[in-house]
Amino acid sequence: MGSRRLFLTTALGAIGAVLAFAAGWPVWRYLSPMEEPGEEERIALDREDVPLGVAHFFRFRGQPAVVLQSSPGVYYAFSAICTHLGCIVQWLPEQREFLCPCHAGRFSPDGRVLSGPPPRPLDSLPVTVVDNRLLIG
Amino acid sequence: MPKRIVDWLDLRLGIRDILEQNLTKYLLPRNINIWYTLGAVLLTLFALQFATGILLLIYYQPSPQEAFSSVQRIMNEIPYGWLLRNLHAVGSNLIVAVLLLHMLSALFMGSYKRPRELTWVSGFLLLNLSLGLCLTGYLLPWSQLSFWATTIATDAAGAIPLLGADLVGFLRGGTAVGEDTLGRFFALHVMGFPLLFGLLVAFHLFCVRRTGVSKPPFGPDYTPPKEHDRFHHEHHPGGIPFFPHYMAKEAGVISFFLALLVAITFFAPGLFIPPTANIPADPFVTPPGIKPEWYFLWAYQVLKIFPSELMGLAVQVVAMTLLALLPFIDRSPERRPARRPLFVALFICGIAIFVGLSIWGYFS
């Protein structure tokens, strides 16, 4: 290939790449998910919303989460997303355990895996009791 | 690597033969001018409308409660949403301008004449379909401008005797512009019209390719082509190849129009988005001075200057019908403008009337 042709091909390729980036970047950003609330986000709940033995589901940092009062004054909060394949766990009050309806993964009230395919416990979230409020996150 | 891909495809589909027949060995007249490239410009602009339209659909909500706020969200919250929305809005205006130039060049050079009547008629339908796309798209942001411009545009159909009131109701999906109008305009804008449009573009291009490109009617060598009793493809021996010569010319003109589109989008985005487009629709308050888009101003003014709406509408229908049927009315084979003084005079008068009525409509 002659040097003139090589130069023109390279120049055209470079211009094409710049234009493709200029067109592609806005589209990429447009399609990218919007930023979720920051890592610092905390949620405050009334203690009355979480009676003994009841699981309260809520949205935390854009994803489903659950808080449970397993024994008087003892609260656990988790991401409600099963660690197996991402389904949302259910609370079974009679069995006092979480069940993933997709592949029957079972978790204890403190989030440990009891049986089934989940590879690790539910992701826990810090809970602080302040006066009559629960601060999560 | 590209050679290996072409080799692979060539073995299975004979692609080299197709490429040669349509690109390197497809010859065009040596004196072909830039006016012939406007079709390629339109294809590019329509492709861009299609792409930006699909992207806008991701966040747009077609309901009276959500439409306006979803467009505001696209403009103010979604990254680069303003860019895509403005490209779509400015692009639609640029397309109408290029469509008119494309039509005017075909008129001036007599390209609509036999054997290209079907190319002309399909092009004319494409122009009308594009205006339909503009009209239906105009309502979607559900702003005061959208709402009242659509109210006025659909109301004009009410002037048709006997059928008028039913037609208005059918267009709106009710007695007034509302949720059902938005639903049907949305369906037409994103699905109905684009499907029809795609089929018509395919037919238009088929006509162009099958009949062959007409020779520009200029220069001392030009002679009107012979009339044939049987199908005849117009060849141009000794002409320039479609690729690379003509495509380079097309690429230049396309780049110019893309630069214009981007320049307006960045430096004058409000040119086609007046203040009433930023106020949510209110069916109880008509804002003062609602005007249609620039390409409908002539029709708007015609409706105003005639004593009855029916007469105004009839004038428009007659004008558009004459234009659609022009190849069947003007049947002389002569295409050189210098030898068609009557046509050129009418052509100039037509442009002057269009521009004059539009300016009058703008200031009235």
- How much is the ipTM here? 0.86
Say what the pLDDT of residue B245 is. Answer: 95
| Interface contact flag, A31 B83, Cβ < 8 Å | no
| Interface contact flag, A26 B83, Cβ < 8 Å | yes
The answer, yes or no, to whether residue B89 has pLDDT greater than 80, is: yes
Say what the pLDDT of residue A37 is. Answer: 60
The tokens for B111 are 């390209």
| Interface contact flag, A34 B77, Cβ < 8 Å | yes
Say what the pLDDT of residue B151 is. Answer: 93
| Interface contact flag, B55 A32, Cβ < 8 Å | no
pLDDT higher at B225 or B95:
B95
| Interface contact flag, B80 A34, Cβ < 8 Å | no
Distance in angstroms between the alpha carbons of the first and the last residue of chain A: 63
| Interface contact flag, A30 B77, Cβ < 8 Å | no
SS3 B170: helix
Cα separations in angstroms, B234 against B119, B215, B226, B228, B238: 14, 9, 10, 11, 13
The answer, yes or no, to whether residue A101 has pLDDT greater than 80, is: yes
Residues on B contacting A at a C-beta cutoff of 8 Å: 55, 58, 77-81, 83-84
- Taking the CA of residue B117 and the nearest CA in chain A, the distance in Å comes to 39
- Taking the CA of residue A26 and the nearest CA in chain B, the distance in Å comes to 6
d(CA A87, CA A100): 7
Over the stretch A41-95, which tens digit does the pLDDT of each residue have? 788 999 999 999 999 999 988 889 999 999 998 999 999 999 999 999 999 999 9
> Which architecture, in CATH terms, is B31-218+232-285?
Up-down Bundle (1.20)
- Weakest-pLDDT range from A36-45, B76-85, B162-171: A36-45
The shortest CB-CB distance from A26 to any of B58, B77, B80 is to B80
Residues of B in contact with A32 (CB under 8 A): 79
d(CA B307, CA B320): 20
Say what the pLDDT of residue A11 is. Answer: 96
> What 3 state SS string does A9-48 have?
HHHHHHHHHHHHHHHHHHHHHHHCCCCCCCCCCCEEEEHH
The answer, yes or no, to whether residue B215 has pLDDT greater than 80, is: yes
Over the stretch A13-26, which tens digit does the pLDDT of each residue have? 999 999 999 999 99
- Taking the CA of residue B106 and the nearest CA in chain A, the distance in Å comes to 33
| Interface contact flag, B80 A30, Cβ < 8 Å | yes
